[in-house]
């Protein structure tokens, strides 16, 4: 199985801050990576697919980059509605695996 | 608008079989574009992929659950189902059904989660 490791596990930030979350795969996954946002009690929401493609309807302050084993999700200017937990997921091979999550908290 | 509506019990006894059905509306489950999947999340923990099915019946399972999992599709009723046998407390989780879209092999629409508790 491909292990997905996110860092940090949590981050405290203020509205307007730039936030960066990283995800590392235990082996190369090309660009087969997605990012999801999950708020308490809600289903995950797809933000980014294919490492850097923005899902329809997702604000442009979200961006993704990377390929191979190292990936980044960036929120350029944190908004109040962005406080949530973020997960990466590899789609290169089965079984599909997720990172452990990064919680973005209010500073 | 796509909707994924789950049905099934919220409480299952240990050693029994957990059964959930996801009914799709707003899209045809027989579309060649999409796959359909199940993901779960134990309380307070991360996401675990259970398996994915195509309308033809082709399935892909998580090896960690493969001996206990069956995912099936019913195209006439536009729904797909999950059976997980011999459950234990470790199977207590919020279960999600989702659609795998055409871009990036990822889940682009998720149904609302259902907490399934395994307890006697």
pLDDT tens digit sequence for A67-104: 999 999 999 999 999 999 999 999 999 999 999 999 99
User: How many CB contacts within 8 angstroms connect chain A with chain B?
Assistant: 60
Q: What angle do CA A75, B50, A55 make, to 5 degrees?
A: 30
Quote the CA–CA distance of A91 and B98 in Å, as a whole number. Answer: 15
Structural element, H or E, at residue A73:
strand A70-75
pLDDT tens digit sequence for B62-111: 999 989 999 999 999 999 999 999 999 999 999 999 999 887 899 999 99
pLDDT of residue B104: 80
Interface check A46 vs B, CB under 8 A: yes
B107 interaction partners in chain A (CB closer than 8 Å): 34, 44, 46
pLDDT of residue A26: 98
Quote the CA–CA distance of B31 and A102 in Å, as a whole number. Answer: 34
Say if the Cβ atoms of A53 and B103 lie within 8 Å. yes
Say if the Cβ atoms of A91 and B104 lie within 8 Å. yes
Say if the Cβ atoms of A1 and B60 lie within 8 Å. no
Report how far apart the first and last C-alpha atoms of chain A are (Å, whole number): 36
Residues 3-32 of A with CB under 8 A from B: 32
Name which residue leads in pLDDT, A22 or B114: A22
Instruction: Please give, rounded to a whole number of angstroms, the shortest distance from the CA of B75 to a CA of chain A.
Output: 25
pLDDT tens digit sequence for B32-52: 999 999 999 999 999 999 999
b/e A29-66 (16+ beta carbons within 10 angstroms → b): bebbbbbbbbeeeebbbbbbbbbbbebeebeeebbbeb
CB atoms within 10 A of CB A22: 17
Say if the Cβ atoms of A98 and B49 lie within 8 Å. yes
Quote the CA–CA distance of B36 and B67 in Å, as a whole number. Answer: 20
Say if the Cβ atoms of A87 and B47 lie within 8 Å. yes
């Amino acid at each position: 199985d491909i292990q997905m490791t996110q860092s940090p596990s949590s981050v405290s930030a203020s509205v307007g801050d730039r936030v960066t979350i990283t995800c590392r795969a235990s082996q190369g996954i090309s660009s087969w990576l997605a990012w999801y946002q999950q708020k308490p009690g809600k289903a995950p929401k797809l933000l980014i697919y294919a490492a850097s493609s923005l899902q329809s309807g997702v604000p442009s302050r979200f961006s993704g980059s990377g390929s191979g084993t190292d990936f980044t999700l960036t929120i350029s200017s944190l908004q109040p509605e962005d406080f949530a937990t973020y997960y990466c997921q590899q789609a290169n091979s089965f079984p599909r695996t997720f990172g452990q999550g990064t919680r973005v908290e209010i500073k | 608008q796509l909707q994924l509506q789950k049905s099934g019990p919220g409480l299952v006894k240990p050693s029994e079989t957990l059964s959930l059905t996801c009914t799709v509306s707003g899209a045809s489950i027989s579309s060649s574009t999409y796959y359909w999947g199940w993901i779960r999340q134990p309380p307070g923990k991360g996401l675990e992929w259970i398996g994915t099915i195509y309308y033809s019946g082709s399935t892909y399972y998580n090896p960690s659950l493969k001996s206990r999992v069956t995912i099936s599709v019913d195209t006439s009723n536009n729904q797909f189902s999950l059976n997980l046998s011999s459950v234990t407390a470790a199977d207590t989780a919020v279960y999600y059904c989702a659609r795998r879209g055409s871009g990036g092999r990822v889940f682009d629409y998720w149904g609302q989660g259902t907490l399934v508790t395994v307890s006697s």
